[in-house]
Structure formats: structure tokens, C-alpha cells
């Protein structure tokens, strides 16, 4: 017994010495300034009330949509349960609803931009208004580390939040319906998660751009919300007016004219980032969708109504994915150039 006690004591001393060595090594380690700023921005975001409020709002609404989706899937009389192929039953957690609440992807498309705007509308002008930007620039750091750190920190917060939310929905649905996702469904959900992060990153970059251009945080917030409201509400109204002007009476107009007008309105609607995101998520989460827009009888005849593989679905929405990535990159490039050329004194 004494020998066993001595061995335990020796092992404990070795463990304590190893722990102390690791602590000293961590204290002596010098972190890169960019890494320190990213950690600081992440801590500020996580502790802020606006992030907690937006996170709680998105969590509650998405849990409500999950509840309605489960009801729709378990109810045999609900027509929403037949929206996707029976082979992709698990995807109905993100697309189905019993009519009381919108589905999961609709809530994400509506509330995601608000999360991105709330994390970036005062990224730069708040530092300048608080007279801390000049103090930061007086340190031996690169100027672009500031805006890069703010973008990366907000993007990490957004990614972690939607990663947890997406897999929370999957885990809850797995416990409720008892059907695990197939590999194809899991890959589609992963692609949907990545597209969601890119879509919210666009609104984050747009709000950061306005925070660089305007000195007041309230002005940049109002501009970001105004752009979001324009594309969410008023842009569709403008498209409806254009469609009515081209084809005043669709019932009496020739079929070719109606189809051309619909294609024109559809192409114009893709100027909206929300429409691009909606097209991508619709095709990814509904494998039976094979195309957008109206189809003629000759195109429908002979078509086999089978669900598409993931590769073919990505090919259908590849222009939308490219456009969404492009506008996100352009917004970040504009904010980067504007900040690098801005007077900070």
C-alpha cells in the first residue's frame, strides 16, 4: 500500500509540474497582434446585448419553425409533407410547415441579415467616435489588421452560431422523428450551412462598409436597414410594376410574351441577394426542383420526376452561388479600400 501511495504521489507531482510548465509556456508565448484583436472582438460580440438578443430571437423562431415542421411531417392530412421526395424525408425539417409559421429557411433568410447588420454597423465609426482608433494605430500593428480582425471575428461568431443552430435542428429532428439523415441529405445540409454563412457575411460586409463611410453609428445602421428593407419589401413591388407594364393583361397576351416577361422579371429579381439565397436554398433543400421559371409543354413531356443528386443541384444554382460570393467579396473589398484610404485623426 505504501508503494502504491508513493507511485500515485510521484505521478501527481509529475502532472502538476507538467501543468505548471504549460502555464509558464503559455504566459511567455507572444501572440500575433491580429490574433489578439480577433479574440478581443469575439469576446466583445459574445458579451454584447444585441448579439444575445438577436441570437435568442433567431433561436426561438427557428425552434418554433421546427415544431411546425414536425407537426407537418407527422400529420397525414398536411400537404406540406409531400413537398419533397420521400427519399429526402429529413430535409423536410428545414422546408415544411403546417401554415402557422414560416419554415426554417425562411426565418433564416429574414433574420440572418439583421444579425449581420447588428455585428458590423459600428465596427469602425464606434472606434473613431470613442477616440480609440488613433490609439490602436499608434501600436506596432498593420493598419489592415483592424478591419480584417473585425470581419474575421464577426464571421467566426456567425459561423459558430449557425453551425450550432443547424445541427441543433438536425439533432432535435432526429430525436423526434427517429429517422437519421442519409449521406446525401447531410451533405445538402452542410452546403446550406455554408451558403447561409456567405449570405449573412454579405450583410456584415455591407454594414462594415457603411461604418467606414459614415462617422455616426446611427447613420450606418439606418443605411444598412434601409438597403435590407428595399430588397426585402420594395424591390418585389418594383418588379411587379415592371411586369404589369410589360404585360398588362396576362390572360389575353400571347404565351411567348408572357414567358419573356417572366424571364425578364426573374433575371431582375436576381439583383437582390435575398433572391439569390432563396434560389440556392430552394434547390439544395428540395431535390425534386430541376429548373427555375416557367416551362413549356414540350419541355415537360418526357421528363422523369426523380430527385437530382447533389452535384446536379449545385450545377443548377452555380450562377447564383457565384453571384452571392461575388457581391460579398466586392462589399468587403470596398470597405477595405475605403478604410485604408481614410483619415483616422
In a domain? residue 146: yes
What's the start-to-end Cα distance of the chain, in Å?
72
Between the alpha carbon of residue 18 and those of residues 8, 23, 27, the distances in Å are: 15, 9, 14
In a domain? residue 257: yes
Q: What is the model's pLDDT at position 309? A: 85
Q: Per-residue DSSP letters for 51-86?
A: HHHHHHHHHHHHHHHHHHHHHHHH-TT-GGGGSS-G
Total domains present in the chain:
1
Q: What is the model's pLDDT at position 128? A: 78
* CB-based contact 94:190 (threshold 8 Å): no
Q: Residue 304 and residue 310: Cα distance in Å, rounded?
A: 17
In a domain? residue 11: no
In a domain? residue 237: yes
Q: What is the model's pLDDT at position 225? A: 93
Q: Residue 136 and residue 37: Cα distance in Å, rounded?
A: 10
In a domain? residue 222: yes
* CB-based contact 206:333 (threshold 8 Å): no
Q: Residue 331 and residue 209: Cα distance in Å, rounded?
A: 7
In a domain? residue 173: yes
Q: Residue 144 and residue 336: Cα distance in Å, rounded?
A: 7
In a domain? residue 217: yes
Q: Cα-Cα-Cα-Cα dihedral of 170, 175, 176, 178, to 10°?
A: 100
Q: Where in the sequence is the domain holding 147, given as residue range(s)?
A: 32-73+85-291+306-341
* CB-based contact 117:225 (threshold 8 Å): yes
Q: Residue 49 and residue 57: Cα distance in Å, rounded?
A: 12
| Successive 10-residue mean pLDDT values, the chain, 345 residues | 67 73 63 82 89 88 84 59 55 80 87 91 82 77 87 94 90 81 88 94 94 88 92 87 75 68 79 90 85 57 69 89 94 91 74
Closest CA to 307 of 217, 182, 218: 182
In a domain? residue 233: yes
pTM: 0.83
Amino acid at each position: 500500500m505504501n508503494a502504491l501511495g508513493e507511485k500515485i504521489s510521484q505521478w501527481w507531482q509529475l502532472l502538476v509540474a507538467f501543468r505548471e510548465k504549460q502555464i509558464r509556456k503559455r504566459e511567455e508565448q507572444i501572440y500575433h497582434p491580429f490574433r489578439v484583436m480577433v479574440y478581443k472582438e469575439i469576446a466583445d460580440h459574445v458579451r454584447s446585448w444585441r448579439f444575445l438578443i438577436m441570437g435568442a430571437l433567431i433561436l426561438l423562431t427557428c425552434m418554433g419553425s421546427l415544431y411546425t415542421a414536425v407537426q407537418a411531417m407527422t400529420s397525414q392530412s398536411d400537404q406540406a409533407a409531400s413537398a419533397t421526395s420521400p427519399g429526402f424525408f429529413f430535409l423536410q425539417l428545414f422546408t415544411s410547415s403546417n401554415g402557422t409559421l414560416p419554415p426554417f429557411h425562411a426565418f433564416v433568410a429574414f433574420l440572418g441579415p439583421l444579425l449581420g447588420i447588428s455585428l458590423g454597423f459600428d465596427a469602425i465609426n464606434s472606434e473613431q467616435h470613442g477616440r480609440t482608433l488613433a490609439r490602436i494605430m499608434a501600436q506596432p500593428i498593420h493598419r489592415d489588421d483592424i478591419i480584417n480582425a473585425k470581419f474575421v471575428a464577426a464571421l467566426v461568431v456567425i459561423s459558430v452560431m449557425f453551425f450550432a443552430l443547424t445541427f441543433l435542428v438536425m439533432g432535435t429532428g432526429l430525436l423526434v422523428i427517429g429517422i437519421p439523415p442519409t449521406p446525401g441529405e447531410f451533405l445538402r445540409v452542410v452546403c446550406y450551412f455554408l451558403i447561409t454563412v456567405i449570405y449573412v457575411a454579405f450583410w456584415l460586409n455591407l454594414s462594415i462598409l457603411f461604418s467606414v463611410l459614415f462617422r455616426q453609428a446611427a447613420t450606418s445602421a439606418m443605411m444598412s436597414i434601409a438597403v435590407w428593407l428595399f430588397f426585402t419589401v420594395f424591390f418585389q413591388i418594383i418588379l411587379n410594376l415592371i411586369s404589369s407594364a410589360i404585360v398588362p393583361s396576362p390572360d389575353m397576351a400571347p404565351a411567348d410574351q408572357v414567358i419573356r416577361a417572366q424571364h425578364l422579371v426573374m433575371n431582375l429579381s436576381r439583383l437582390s441577394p435575398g433572391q439569390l439565397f432563396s434560389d440556392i436554398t430552394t434547390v439544395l433543400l428540395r431535390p425534386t426542383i430541376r429548373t427555375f421559371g416557367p416551362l413549356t409543354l414540350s419541355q415537360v413531356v418526357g421528363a422523369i420526376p426523380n430527385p437530382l443528386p447533389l452535384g446536379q443541384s449545385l450545377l443548377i444554382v452555380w450562377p447564383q452561388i457565384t453571384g452571392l460570393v461575388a457581391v460579398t467579396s466586392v462589399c468587403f473589398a470596398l470597405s477595405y479600400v475605403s478604410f485604408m484610404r481614410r483619415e483616422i485623426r
